[in-house]
Chains A and B, each alone.
Chain A
Amino acid sequence: MNCSQVNSDLVAYLHGEVSPDEKVSIQAHLETCSSCQAELRRFSILETGLAQHLQLQVEQVHPAATAWHNLQTRIGQEGWGNTRSEMRSIPRFHFKKQTTRALVLVMVVILVILLASPPVRTLAARVGEWVGSWFRFNTPGAESSMSVGGFEAFAPYTPTYLPNGFDSSGLGGTSAPDLERLELTYSDGELFVVILQSMGSGAGDLPQGKTVTVNGETGRFVEVFATSAEELQQKIPGISAVTEFDYGRTSLLAWYLAEIKLEMVSNLPAEELLKIAQSLVLAEGGAGNSSP
């Protein structure tokens, strides 16, 4: 085993979660490698510090003195028997299916007539100006969706495909006179993709790299774009590089869609990155209340 192989298994070795053969190989390497010994010692120090820190933190906090009383009250309200079935038996208003459909239809017709009338249209536009435009982001395969107000400069793109286990892990935006930028991050905790969308003269040209086609548009693919969070931030100022990701082999896919420059930074394989790029659609947008 070489240093790199040993290093990647050091945490599992420390936890006794390697196979007997691996354990023997790692031990043999450690006997002769002072650098890996130092690495192991640092992980061990971190583990001890971490366990002590968490223990100290929780020793300072205690559940509210009324916790049991509150729980009894809540359970009492719902009945000490089978709470679920009790909850289901709460009486509700019931309409026949046909009545419900007719009511919905009447409400839709009234709404359309109201919105089509000039005074209401003007009012809606004013409200829209007041609260700003909003865009809704739905994450495919996950429960999450979010709305963001204020991006009046351009309608952002959002992916309709993400690899399994991916969920939204961040959203940010920056605004400058020559550059409006929106940043969406999705990850599964280990792999990530950041989708940057920029508009304005500060967006810049496409980088040098392999020419690729994204839905008919010419783009550039740069393999190993950055090898650390710091390097990534130097190359794309303002990007919120998240510390826990492994930036060891980060690639970039960049292309223009009309006036918007799209840049996707990721440690995913190139084909997955392209698949996400091809799935981008305009986010659902509108004016008024941005709550989902």
Chain B
Amino acid sequence: MDLELDELIQHTQAGDQEAFGVLFERYKNLVYRTAYLMLDDVGEADEVLQEVFLKVHQSLSSYQPTKGAFTTWLYRITTNTCLNRRRKKRFSLFPLEWAQQRNHRATLSQQNGLEEKQALKQALRGLSDKLRVVIVLRYYGGLSYAEIAESLDIPIGTVKSRLDLGLRALRRELEASDQEWFSEKEEVA
């Protein structure tokens, strides 16, 4: 089946399982990989993939292409599902010495001089969910400010300030954990 997106959506809305299967194949990586970058866990990304496409199946009849792109709508469902999972996880039960352990881990990371990839990975992990999600949508999804605003249901000004804060936080973290990170690349450039 090689249909345009509009046709696929119409067929799925009419109950065509094969069309829904094509839609799933076409967008599974987008959902799964966004979830993985948000949650850092392949198992959870698999669960989010299921949850998101169940929601898509349930509510595709109410989707109106005139109100926004399908991918923006899909990003909205995916990021909401991920953020809800993060919220539930965060507020389970923290051990008494949690704060101390967190500080200790940060110090260890600095002492070890992490490799480039690890440094970026750690820096991304240090971001709050609100900053991380705009970074993922911008630099993995390639979304514009307007598309991010629509996906997250926030004003464009907020997207602008969160991207700014997110990048500055990543810079600070990289400069603190791996002092060579920028200088090496500047030399290459």
| Number of interchain pairs (Cβ within 8 Å) | 176
Q: Which residues on the B side are within 8 Å of A83 (C-beta)?
A: 54, 57-58
Q: Chain A's interface: helix, strand, loop or mixed, by majority?
A: mixed
Q: Are A74 and B54 in contact (CB under 8 A)?
A: yes
Q: Are B32 and A46 in contact (CB under 8 A)?
A: no
Q: Are B96 and A238 in contact (CB under 8 A)?
A: no
- Contact residues on B (Cβ < 8 Å of other chain), bracket: 35 or more
B139 contact from A51, A82, A145, Cβ within 8 A: A51
A160 on interface, CB distance cutoff 8 Å = no
A188 to B61, CA, bound (A): 34
Q: Mark B138-158, 1 if CB is under 8 A from A, else 0.
A: 011000010000000000000
A168 to B89, CA, bound (A): 12
Q: Are A244 and B167 in contact (CB under 8 A)?
A: no
Within the complex, the shortest CB–CB distance from B37 to chain A, in Å, comes to 6
A170 to B185, CA, bound (A): 34
Q: Are A240 and B102 in contact (CB under 8 A)?
A: yes
B165 contact from A49, A75, A169, A246, Cβ within 8 A: A246
Q: Which of B2-10, B63-71, B73-81, B120-128 lies at the binding interface?
A: B120-128
Q: Chain B's interface: helix, strand, loop or mixed, by majority?
A: helix
Q: Mark B102-135, 1 if CB is under 8 A from A, else 0.
A: 1100000000000011001100001111110001
A175 on interface, CB distance cutoff 8 Å = yes
Q: Are A244 and B169 in contact (CB under 8 A)?
A: yes
Q: Which residues on the B side are within 8 Å of A24 (C-beta)?
A: none
User: A68-B25, A145-B91 are known contacts. Are A55 and B140 too (CB-CB below 8 A)?
Assistant: yes
Q: Are B91 and A57 in contact (CB under 8 A)?
A: no
A64 on interface, CB distance cutoff 8 Å = yes
User: A63-B28, A148-B94 are known contacts. Are A45 and B37 too (CB-CB below 8 A)?
Assistant: no
B11 on interface, CB distance cutoff 8 Å = no
B37 contact from A54, A151, A174, A290, Cβ within 8 A: A54
Q: Are B91 and A67 in contact (CB under 8 A)?
A: no
Q: Which residues on the B side are within 8 Å of A50 (C-beta)?
A: 120, 135, 139, 170
User: A67-B28, A67-B50, A243-B173 are known contacts. Are A171 and B94 too (CB-CB below 8 A)?
Assistant: yes
User: A46-B174, A150-B96, A168-B90 are known contacts. Are A11 and B45 too (CB-CB below 8 A)?
Assistant: no
A200 on interface, CB distance cutoff 8 Å = no
Q: Which residues on the B side are within 8 Å of A70 (C-beta)?
A: 50
Q: Are A15 and B36 in contact (CB under 8 A)?
A: no
Closest to B16 in A: A80
A102 on interface, CB distance cutoff 8 Å = no
Q: Which residues on the B side are within 8 Å of A147 (C-beta)?
A: 93
B1 on interface, CB distance cutoff 8 Å = no
Within the complex, the shortest CB–CB distance from B149 to chain A, in Å, comes to 11
Closest to A143 in B: B87
A53 on interface, CB distance cutoff 8 Å = yes
A172 to B103, CA, bound (A): 11
Q: Are A17 and B145 in contact (CB under 8 A)?
A: yes
Q: Which residues on the B side are within 8 Å of A111 (C-beta)?
A: none
Within the complex, the shortest CB–CB distance from B131 to chain A, in Å, comes to 6
Q: Which residues on the B side are within 8 Å of A167 (C-beta)?
A: 87
Q: Are B99 and A242 in contact (CB under 8 A)?
A: no
Residue positions of B touching A, CB distance < 8 A: 15, 17, 21, 24-25, 28-29, 32-33, 36-37, 42, 45-46, 49-50, 53-54, 57-58, 61, 87, 90-94, 96-100, 102-103, 116-117, 120-121, 126-131, 135-136, 139-140, 145, 160-174, 181-182, 185-186, 189
9 examples of A-B residue contacts, CB within 8 angstroms:
A42-B171, A43-B167, A47-B167, A63-B45, A64-B46, A146-B94, A238-B99, A238-B103, A243-B172
Residue positions of A touching B, CB distance < 8 A: 8, 11-12, 15, 17, 41-43, 45-47, 49-51, 53-58, 61-64, 67-68, 70-72, 74-75, 80-84, 143-151, 167-175, 183, 187-190, 238-240, 242-244, 246, 290
- Other than A41-B186, A61-B36, A242-B126, give 4 A-B pairs with Cβ distance below 8 A: A46-B170, A75-B57, A172-B94, A244-B131
